[in-house]
Amino acid sequence: MELITIAVLTGTTRAQRQSHKVAHYIAEFGRQLAGVEIIVVDPTEFNFPGDGNDPEGKDSRYSEITARADAFFVITPEYNHSFPGSLKRMLDSELENYNHKPVAFAGVSDGNWGGVRAVESLVPAVRETGLVTLSWDVYFPHVQAMFEATGALKPEYAERYDRNLGKLFDELLLFARLLKQIR
Ligand SMILES: Cc1cc2nc3c(=O)[nH]c(=O)nc-3n(C[C@H](O)[C@H](O)[C@H](O)COP(=O)(O)O)c2cc1C
């Protein structure tokens, strides 16, 4: 089986970020799948000077990861009905490396809606980059109540989320394999 590399992008640099627990859960889930390599991309560990995708606005480590990735999984919290600026800045720093590669989304919020407005506002932005969106996502409302202090997803959520995430990874991998053939 051909190895598929998935870059898991975490959406915020906020020190108290709850969405990082979601990113960790999704990354660990992906690591259990056969033939999958997961690379977690945390914007706190990268440096993107200025704006845009000129050579001086890139971080070469992010360029290498995005060139290598066959697919992307973006975890975004909702900030003022949109997605965080640090995620936009990171996404903006590349262009060709995204073309004809699929992307899945996880939305996160501390309220009822699970970050759906953040994901809805991400879709047109990533579409412009050449990333290929899927027809469904996964959402984590009331995220502050979903995880144990250890960072593990609480047992009452695990069965449903494991099932939904499994289906989403299946779809992401299907498109990753298909699109790899035409790149
Ligand atoms: C600047 C800012 C704006 C926010 N705006 C919203 C919002 O519009 N809708 C919402 O449901 N939650 C909003 N939240 C709360 C987040 O849902 C909450 O912080 C949640 O834990 C996910 O983000 P985190 O990874 O930063 O913790 C906002 C949080 C911040 C810091």
Task: Evaluate if residue 168 carries a pLDDT over 90.
Answer: yes
Q: Count structural domains, the chain.
A: 1
Q: Is the pLDDT of residue 1 over 90?
A: no
Tell whether ligand 1 has an atom less than 6 A from the beta carbon of residue 112: no
Which residue segment(s) compose the domain that 154 sits in?
4-182
Residue 66, domain CATH: 3.40.50.360
Q: Is 106 in the pocket of ligand 1 (CB under 6 A)?
A: no
pLDDT of 58 higher than 90: yes
Secondary structure letter of residue 127 according to DSSP: H
Contact between 27 and 19 (Cβ < 8 Å): no
pLDDT at residue 142, as a whole number:
98
Residue-wise pLDDT tens digits, 15-31:
999 999 999 999 999 99
Q: Is the CB of 17 under 6 A from ligand 1?
A: yes
pLDDT tens per residue, range 77-118: 999 999 999 999 999 999 999 999 999 999 999 999 999 999
Q: How far is the CA of 5 from the centre of ligand 1 (A)?
A: 29
Ligand 1 pocket, 111 CB below 6 A?
yes
pTM of the full structure: 0.98
Q: What is the average pLDDT score of the chain?
A: 97
Position in ligand 1 atom list of the atom nearest CA 111: 11
For the Cβ of 85 lying below 6 angstroms from any atom of ligand 1, the answer is no
Q: Would you say the CB of residue 86 lies under 6 angstroms from ligand 1?
A: no
Predicted confidence band at 39 (pLDDT cuts at 50, 70, 90)?
very high
User: Which residue is associated with the tokens 């298909």?
Assistant: 178
* Model confidence band, residue 55 (pLDDT cutoffs 50, 70, 90): very high
Closest CA to 106 of 93, 118, 94: 118
